[in-house]
Structure 1
């Protein structure tokens, strides 16, 4: 029997088949299962109809699935070459959104291109992971111990963070900074160096609070005392908690959630989609979705750690961490553990930009796994 490694050294057609064989199809199945959960939730959010949410979202997922598998076939050596162009392209889009972006809920976050709304901050997260992995993949312990070597990647993180804060989009800016910090640690950054970076955060937080927009301050105040304005700033989180509690152990039943179906639950197709799931399927359903998300996070990290080159490990870990932060921020937000920040639940919430960028990230993760035995000094498979 011809092994996949021998196929990788064979003719191009056989190399392609070998790469397909090396794809983690179990992980692809988990992705499809999570997207199926999202379709069911959006079908319910549409009042028992594929329009206006579930149908378009399924088309986006189908396109994203093909894109993901296509990217999985691309060698990490090629991905390194595209790291810088993609990073600067994402920065250009972030600048463009400040000049001509679509305004929604007090912020400029979208570019309208041919009828499609693109949120550049979503692409910026993936581009940052790619460029940091490319920067650190040849860095040894000596270079990581040199503070001057860390200045350029630190500026790479600060640039998109500053532009996203300018939109303003505090939640996504925090995620971008956290993803960047996680790659620094994974690359071998000393703990004392990280402590020096973290030490000024309380002072920067106090400074940032003084420059927040009124609606952002209202979110923080509402987080601490939601009952102080139950029909205004506190309405969203109060209705979310009511829906979570009303689900009980087994839920009110599919398409029978009172808060969701009677439109008391705000943004039920986007930010608060998990609340709708928990109301209809109860604690058991909510925990099942969280377990699926956890399995995907752990699986992504394990795939990254199996890679034999530093670029692949850092890229895979960065993608997995980005997915993890998506989930943690959204779930914490709808449960009232953190202020509402407008972060979607990946593959479940309605939205084109988030869906396609998440699938793009999964494509990079699968590419890392497919080429896990590759070293940058070896011949390209």
Structure 2
């Protein structure tokens, strides 16, 4: 609308400002990236059977990772949880993925390229308070995925301080399944995601092989991958999460170990939800409000003498628009458009409260 037109909702200009304040507040959180700084690992409540079902898990410490919760939570998000016992670190992933468990990278001939499709990369920095080297800190990178062509799990492990390039390389395990890493996968019943359940021996993480316990902290960064249609050429989507709050850079994440977050080992389970899981709850609540208002909304405003105005709905379910002219005397004319909040949601996401304010302004009720 052109800048030389002045208009009011109802008879008081403040109502228009109040309305847009409501809309701004209601829609400020639509685009949401998660930023997880800590993954809480809880003691395994009992024996853990790797079957991809997680029925024997305490998932209360899980975090949610997603680049945009509003747009991608149902297609490119993952919930990650961690547990531990004296022999293993357990990590589970519950992916939302439109093409779940598709990775055709051959782990025998191209073990280091599993990240080109559905895959997780876990970057561990054990005993990070010590210098990297014998009797000190160790960096372990674990790539794990489902090899579609042979219907089996695959894992590749590298012991490498990548910040020092070749000088930091200590060794690798091309076939880590059964050699310190085990994994199970299960596709969701609706075909829109999958569960990946992984256990990693402490011997691969700490040089002396001792387990982590309550009160200790392990540095960890995660890179999460969703494949393209080929399942082997290049990821369709990637997101790095579990980052250092003081240095949350996600670029060159594999070598930027100071950007990795933390696994905090707790002595108990049954935890309160993590901030990212709570964040999802708020986004879902706003989404429900976004689609909850229905029915026509009347807009009344004033046009100057001879003025004109146009109202259009962007991406509406049906073509909707209206043009009204002033009456030549600066008079007030009603503008009605049978556009529901659902039809307008992409351009002006109306919450229930905002619609009430529109109606109140149109009725002169305040």
Normalised by the length of structure 2, the TM-score is: 0.26
Relative contact order higher in (CA < 8 Å, ≥ 6 apart): 1
Computing the radius of gyration over CA atoms, which structure comes out larger, 1 or 2? 2
